[in-house]
Copies of this chain bind each other. A is one copy, B any other.
């Protein structure tokens, strides 16, 4: 009776201290999909992938096999079941192979299969999002996406942070982060009524709700989908994406930056340890700088520099920027990249931005001109994280809301958090896809989301 094993289990056994223990389980049973199948009149080789590992396993079948010709005809994409001997092959590229005793068809796949052995463009693969996950690149991307999600949960839960599911449907427009999607039920729309009794939209941030939880649990985080109805087609924006938004009480901007640095390095290290084959693939095939970039990040000191200092560097710079530099301006990608790539040559927190260009909830500094914000810039991508200490003083917060023309109605609960035992607190937002692009080197957000949503694009 052959032992059922996944491809991952085969690799685990092979890399164990004593692979000779294999003796007892040499005859094994594998299931998976044919990636490639080549043969001549005597012998054939199937690269089999079962989804449990980024790596394939080579299955060798000989002319003596029953149905040799049938097996020869199996196309890429065919699902098969293999029984064979696991043979260690230290002299070969792959550490072992399966010498097949029988191969059974599990699911046929004819030659109209849109995913062939040849290399396809990412544009083409986006059109077959349900099948592209069977390719090397997307197998690696979505494996790393899953691991990175787990890294984030582990990082926070290990430190006792409470995971909070902030609402997706919200009645607050006050967050002021551009256009939102409206939500309504058909039957209510027909009656010109509102399902929720008022306008409802999809959340652009869970921060305000997370603050309520931080002021009860001290340390909390969200990790969920957020939405922007911006009608722009870029490689970095999607209508639906996931964000991580931690919020910590009894904490100031420095505590916030320490947390960001710890989280980013924990996650990068987690991926380097747990996705070695995927990361080697990205470095070989997608972006030859990616491993170097990540290793250097781990070794780097995260520099802290004020916005005002950054402006001074930019004014002194011997570079012609598209957007002219002056204090008070919003930094453009070209400025951010100059600061982290040329001036600092490593990760840098910019802090204390002019209050006019940041959100109403950020804490006003004593200079009355800047707020306690911090953006993390990293070489290669620019802004990765945006955070701030929150305004915990009721009167300051009310002034800021007036300045930004934000209605108090609907946000009385948010003001309550300052009325009743409010303390200093801080938090940040990390765009999950941006982080994933940084780690993998993938250049288009559509290629790191399972089924991407962008303007005029809602297939699947």
- Of A61-69, A93-101, A417-425, the one with at least 4 CB within 8 A of chain B: A417-425
A457 and B417: CB pair below 8 A?
A: no
B450 and A242: CB pair below 8 A?
A: no
Give a binary string over A403-434; 1 marks a CB under 8 Å from any B CB, 0 the rest. Answer: 00000000001101101111110000000000
A336 near B: Cβ within 8 Å? no
Within 78-114 of A, Cβ neighbours of B (below 8 Å) are at 78-79, 106-110, 112-114
A40 near B: Cβ within 8 Å? no
Quick one: which of B33, B215, B458 contacts A198, CB cutoff 8 A?
B458
Write out the residue numbers on chain B whose beta carbons fall within 8 Å of the beta carbon of A139. 216-217
Shortest Cβ gap from A238 to chain B (Å): 10
**CB within 8 Å for A422 and B181 given contacts A164-B450, A213-B142:** no
Give a binary string over A354-393; 1 marks a CB under 8 Å from any B CB, 0 the rest. Answer: 0000000000000000000000000000000000000010
Write out the residue numbers on chain B whose beta carbons fall within 8 Å of the beta carbon of A170. 458, 460
Measured CA separation A455–B239 after assembly (Å): 26
- Of A219-227, A258-266, A343-351, A439-447, the one with at least 4 CB within 8 A of chain B: A219-227
**CB within 8 Å for A197 and B457 given contacts A149-B163, A164-B142, A183-B183:** yes
A130 near B: Cβ within 8 Å? yes
Measured CA separation A217–B144 after assembly (Å): 13
Measured CA separation A143–B219 after assembly (Å): 12
Quick one: which of B146, B197, B249 contacts A458, CB cutoff 8 A?
B197
Measured CA separation A283–B374 after assembly (Å): 44
Shortest Cβ gap from A365 to chain B (Å): 20
Shortest Cβ gap from A25 to chain B (Å): 19
B165 and A79: CB pair below 8 A?
A: no
B160 and A8: CB pair below 8 A?
A: yes
B163 and A146: CB pair below 8 A?
A: yes
Quick one: which of B143, B166, B424 contacts A450, CB cutoff 8 A?
B166
**CB within 8 Å for A167 and B460 given contacts A182-B189, A184-B182, A422-B79:** yes
A145 near B: Cβ within 8 Å? yes
A218 and B50: CB pair below 8 A?
A: yes
Give a binary string over A175-192; 1 marks a CB under 8 Å from any B CB, 0 the rest. Answer: 000011111111111000
A311 near B: Cβ within 8 Å? no
Within 34-81 of A, Cβ neighbours of B (below 8 Å) are at 34, 50-52, 77-79
Give a binary string over A302-327; 1 marks a CB under 8 Å from any B CB, 0 the rest. Answer: 00000000000000000000000000
Measured CA separation A420–B109 after assembly (Å): 4
Measured CA separation A310–B64 after assembly (Å): 51
Quick one: which of B52, B180, B420 contacts A160, CB cutoff 8 A?
B52
Shortest Cβ gap from A140 to chain B (Å): 12
B181 and A240: CB pair below 8 A?
A: no
Measured CA separation A421–B142 after assembly (Å): 20
Measured CA separation A155–B212 after assembly (Å): 29
Measured CA separation A33–B128 after assembly (Å): 54
A52 and B219: CB pair below 8 A?
A: yes
A150 and B163: CB pair below 8 A?
A: yes
B458 and A416: CB pair below 8 A?
A: no
Measured CA separation A249–B182 after assembly (Å): 37
Write out the residue numbers on chain B whose beta carbons fall within 8 Å of the beta carbon of A413. 128-130, 459-460
Shortest Cβ gap from A235 to chain B (Å): 19
Shortest Cβ gap from A304 to chain B (Å): 22
A171 near B: Cβ within 8 Å? yes
Measured CA separation A122–B218 after assembly (Å): 23
**CB within 8 Å for A184 and B181 given contacts A169-B227, A423-B79:** yes
Within 113-165 of A, Cβ neighbours of B (below 8 Å) are at 113-115, 128-131, 133-134, 139, 142-143, 145-146, 149-150, 153, 157, 160-165
Measured CA separation A455–B146 after assembly (Å): 34
Residue contacts A-B, CB under 8 angstroms, 15 given: A6-B160, A33-B421, A109-B420, A130-B212, A130-B413, A130-B417, A133-B217, A142-B164, A143-B162, A149-B165, A166-B450, A185-B229, A196-B453, A196-B455, A200-B458
